[in-house]
Amino acid sequence: MQRFRAIDSHTGGEPTRVVFGESLGLQGGSMAELRADFAERFDHLRSAVACEPRGSDILVGALLVPGFKHEWGVIFFNNVGTLNMCGHGTIGVAETLRFLGKWGAGEHLLETPVGDVGVRINADHSVEFANVPSYRKESAVRVDLSDRVVTGDVAWGGNWFYLCDDHGCEISMGNLNELMGLSEEIRRKLGRDEVDHIELVSPMEGGAKNFVLCPGLAYDRSPCGTGTSAKLACLYADGKLKPGQVWRQESITGSVFEGWVKIVNDQCVPHVRGRAFITMESELILDPDDPLRFGFTGVKL
Ligand code: PYC
């Protein structure tokens, strides 16, 4: 039997499952190399942790490993593969380390495959993270759909996003099927492999409401930390957000992240604040007699 300690949390409705990876003996000299080794040699464990029957298409896993420069590094993953970064997951990891007594209130650094992320745990247990520098790569990118044309920005916020606000859809739970269908069609017709998150945005007082389709074709229940970062970078590029000005990003479930940017060495560094709650502590058991011990997903990309 293989056993893995797991701690689950949710951040604004989006789940994170932390597991510990020291015993895997991942090879490499950076978190990006450890991620590549994890993807190559341990994809069955990714699937065992993230996919059914122990996980689900909406779960994001966080493999915690000792860092090279700092105490902890993290490799995020989901039902279909590894992720570059994950904002709601960073908040979940911070709350998990606090819950375990490994991190206290104050400042910390977390190594990710795309760079170090600053984390601050506040006295009220909310968590702020200073993301990797983010930017808009292209604007007014046109996508011809079956019944409309949309335009949007391609932006980096720790993951690659296509952000679109002329989608013409109401962002509400009652409209989930249309949002799923539309964002999947945009993803397909945009046809850029690196852009694996689609973010539909609608304005609201003091910020925006969003719907984010994730790479495993599940929608983010939270406002998406990297998606919020990409949006902040676009707003900053447009001169619509000043450094330090607070922006509220609301998810389809009604959960809210607050975000702002700081300019460091001429780069736009998004800061995002949210809160995670622990939901479960468990031991995952992989029984060698279980033919489905390494999990399964119906998602085919
Ligand atoms: O919060 O950055 C995020 C995220 C990415 C995928 C799911 N959540």
The CA radius of gyration of the chain, in Å to the nearest whole number, is 18
267 and 151 housed in the same domain: yes
Which residue CA neighbors atom 8 of ligand 1 most closely?
224
Domain that includes residue 40, residue range: 2-126+277-286
* Predicted confidence (pLDDT) at residue 49 exceeds the cutoff of 80: yes
108 and 236 housed in the same domain: no
Q: Looking at the DSSP assignment, which residues form a beta bridge with residue 272? A: 129, 259
pLDDT score for 90: 98
Please state the rounded mean pLDDT for residues 285-300: 94
Angle of helix 31-41 relative to helix 43-50, nearest 10 degrees?
90
Q: Is residue 291 part of a domain?
A: no
Give the tens place of pLDDT for each residue, 87-141.
999 999 999 999 999 999 999 999 999 999 999 999 999 999 999 999 999 999 9
93, 95, 187, 212: residue to mutate for ligand 1 pocket, most atoms within 8 A of CB:
212
Structural element, H or E, at residue 34: helix 31-41
pLDDT score for 110: 98
154 and 77 housed in the same domain: no
The residue count for the chain: 301
Q: Which residue has the tokens 């029984």?
A: 287
Q: Is residue 296 part of a domain?
A: no
Please state the rounded mean pLDDT for residues 271-294: 98
Ligand 1 nearest-atom number relative to CA 86: 2
d(CA 30, CA 12): 30
Give the tens place of pLDDT for each residue, 144-201.
999 999 999 999 999 999 999 999 999 999 999 999 999 999 999 999 999 999 999 9
53 and 158 housed in the same domain: no
pLDDT score for 301: 72
From the CB of 18, is ligand 1 less than 6 Å away?
Answer: no
60, 84, 213, 255: residue to mutate for ligand 1 pocket, most atoms within 8 A of CB:
60
Please state the rounded mean pLDDT for residues 73-99: 98
Separate counts of helices (H) and strands (E) for the chain = 5, 16
93 and 140 housed in the same domain: no
From the CB of 14, is ligand 1 less than 6 Å away?
Answer: yes
**90 touches 128 (CB < 8 A):** no
How many CB atoms sit inside 10 A of residue 285's CB? 13
Q: What is the 3-state composition of the chain as percent helix, strand, coil, each rounded to the nearest 5?
A: 20, 40, 35
140 and 267 housed in the same domain: yes
Please state the rounded mean pLDDT for residues 270-275: 98
160 and 113 housed in the same domain: no
Q: Is residue 294 part of a domain?
A: no
67 and 141 housed in the same domain: no
**210 touches 200 (CB < 8 A):** yes
Q: Looking at the DSSP assignment, which residues form a beta bridge with residue 3? A: 285
From the CB of 214, is ligand 1 less than 6 Å away?
Answer: yes
d(CA 166, CA 148): 10
Ligand 1 nearest-atom number relative to CA 89: 1
How many CB atoms sit inside 10 A of residue 8's CB? 18
Q: How far apart are the first and last CA of the chain?
A: 31
From the CB of 226, is ligand 1 less than 6 Å away?
Answer: yes
Q: Looking at the DSSP assignment, which residues form a beta bridge with residue 144? A: 149
Q: Which residue has the tokens 């292209």?
A: 138
241 and 255 housed in the same domain: yes
* Predicted confidence (pLDDT) at residue 14 exceeds the cutoff of 90: yes
Domain harbouring 43, CATH code: 3.10.310.10
d(CA 105, CA 110): 15
pLDDT score for 63: 98
Give the tens place of pLDDT for each residue, 207-238.
999 999 999 999 999 999 999 999 999 999 99
Which residue CA neighbors atom 5 of ligand 1 most closely?
86
pLDDT score for 300: 76
Catalytic positions, please? 86, 224
188 and 260 housed in the same domain: yes
144 and 72 housed in the same domain: no
* Predicted confidence (pLDDT) at residue 28 exceeds the cutoff of 80: yes
Q: For the chain, how many structural domains are there in total?
A: 2
pLDDT score for 288: 97
Please state the rounded mean pLDDT for residues 45-70: 97
SS3 62: strand
User: What are the φ/ψ torsions at residue 17 (nearest 5 degrees)?
Assistant: -120, 115
